[in-house]
Amino acid sequence: MSLHKSRYHEVAAEIQLQIEQRIWLPGDRIPSIRKMSQIQHISPMTVLKAYELLESEGWVYAKIRSGYFVSAHLNRLAIPKQTTPQMINRAIKINEHVFDVLKSCKRPDIVPFGSAFPDPSLFPLRQLGLALAKTIKTMPVQSAVTELPPGSIALRRAIAKRYIRDGIDVSIDDIVITSGAMESLGLSLMAVTKPGDTVAIESPAFYGVLQTVERLQLKAVEVATDPQLGMSVDALMAVVERHDIKACWLMSKFQNPLGALMSEENKLAIRDILVEKKIPLLEDDVYSELYFSEQKPKPIKAYDEQGLVLHCSSFSKCLAPGFRVGWVVAGRYAKQVEQLQLMTTLSAAVPNQLALAQFVLHGNYDVHLRKLRRLLAGRQQQMQNAIELYFPSETKITRPEGGYFLWLELPAHINTANLLQVLLDEHNISIAPGTLFASDNKYQNCMRINCSYAWTDKTKRALITLARCIH
């Protein structure tokens, strides 16, 4: 009896996975009971029990004399609309909750929906360890000096080769290696502004942007941003007309937290606005390798004829979290960035740079990336489907084509900062409340969810708990 019971659970789980992977789409008829019993070599009664279980959980519904169909509500939730910040010039004050959320990510007992870090088990840590051990054994004693800023020539060569392969003309001398993208963005912003200047940023924006703007005593204008298309071209145009903008900081691909991907048309339009006003662009492209499409989307840097774009990225999200190695293609600003690095952190860790150069040039980097993209796309789909199923119907959700974040807009009365407290205190679950991504308690009813982790029973239970708390 118990064997029989587990078999129908297995069949139900298999079909659920197929629905989550969008093999069966909402409205599709799944195989008839007779057909499925032939395919699976099980009795029609076992299939019927599996289908009834799926029906009770809302994955399918039965139509009399027609069969079982995938529930239409699996894509019932709307996409959030373009944001409407005030677009005024002001000092930025970072929300203190950022530090609580970052701290909660360190707790091993937490289900880290609020984390910005990708699931560490997604990375070739053993091979990276071997590359690091080999580097340390063989590295010339002078390396600590020869690899001072702008950084390891081997790594800069490996990075330049990848840009050239993507059709972006970059020279080794344009690149400065940094301690992660956070440093490349900070140094770049320092290179093109002075305290009191105003920067145009997205709304919502990655909290690292807000922290850097505050730390450098700059002001910011938060620009309306579309969850699908990124920073609004019209809004940016209005902002540069109204304010004396000294730099613009944005993500054209898989924006954090919205996941937006700019169209080629918008990338060109943004470039034209900034060229016209001679405003440098800090393009944060840390998720550039995490695209789900066949073709890698281009950054705005690919269209930069004037050398106004400082393109910042790192290995933190795609290969080696914790190695703290990033870079900026700074072009005409490279010397300034290099000098600022010498004055602040001196240099990125040398063994890490050399080991990554080895791995990128001679390891299976592209094989790893293909697998990583496939896994992330699948995990995102599973998370989206579960949210569609369990969350209130007024929830709005993004559908990014890369990266590993979902942005959710919940019913207006829900305060996600309060929700975070309950989730941390009572359920060991974290979320990133919307208020982390803007300066003045905007996005109180929004949250960012990390979907890079494997879809296990524990994850599913945590998501259902989260949905229950929201309900």
Ligand X SMILES: Cc1ncc(COP(=O)(O)O)c(C=O)c1O
Residues that bind ligand X (CB under 6 A): 116, 180-182, 206, 208, 251, 256, 284, 286, 314, 316, 326
Distance CA 450, CA 138 (A): 39
Q: Are 399 and 77 in contact (CB under 8 A)?
A: no
Q: Which is nearer to ligand X, 189 or 414 (CB)?
A: 189
Q: What is the largest CA-CA distance in the chain?
A: 79
Beta bridge partners of 201: 222, 249
Give least dist CB 298 to ligand X, A: 18
Q: Collect all residues with Cβ–Cβ distance below 8 Å to 270 and sequence separation of at least 6.
A: 231, 233, 236, 248, 250, 252, 262, 281, 300
Q: Whole-angstrom Cα distance, residue 61 to residue 19? A: 13
Which of 256/341 has CB closer to ligand X? 256
Considering beta carbons, is residue 155 or 286 the nearer one to ligand X?
Answer: 286
Identify which of residues 181 and 357 has a Cβ nearer to ligand X in the complex. Answer: 181
Q: What is the CA radius of gyration of the chain?
A: 24
**Closer of 279 and 286 to ligand X (Cβ):** 286
Q: Which CB, 59 or 327, lies closer to ligand X? A: 327
State the minimum distance, in angstroms, from the CB of residue 312 to ligand X: 7
Which residue is associated with the tokens 């990338």?
Answer: 267
Q: Do 429 and 423 form a contact (C-beta atoms < 8 A)?
A: yes
Which C-beta is closer to ligand X: that of 11 or that of 118? 118
412 dihedral zone (left: phi>0; alpha: psi -120 to 50; beta) = alpha
Q: Give the residue closest to ligand X by C-beta.
A: 180
Contact indicator for 287, 253 with CB cutoff of 8 Å: yes
Nearest approach, Cβ of 295 to ligand X (angstroms)?
22
| Bond from prior residue into 227 cis (ω within 30 degrees of 0) | no
83 phi-psi bin (left φ>0, alpha ψ -120 to 50, beta other): beta
Provide the H-helix boundaries in 141-232.
143-146, 153-165, 180-192, 207-215
Cβ 335 to ligand X shortest distance, Å: 22
Encoded tokens for 23: 């093999």
CB of 207 to ligand X, least distance (A): 9
Q: Which is nearer to ligand X, 314 or 382 (CB)?
A: 314
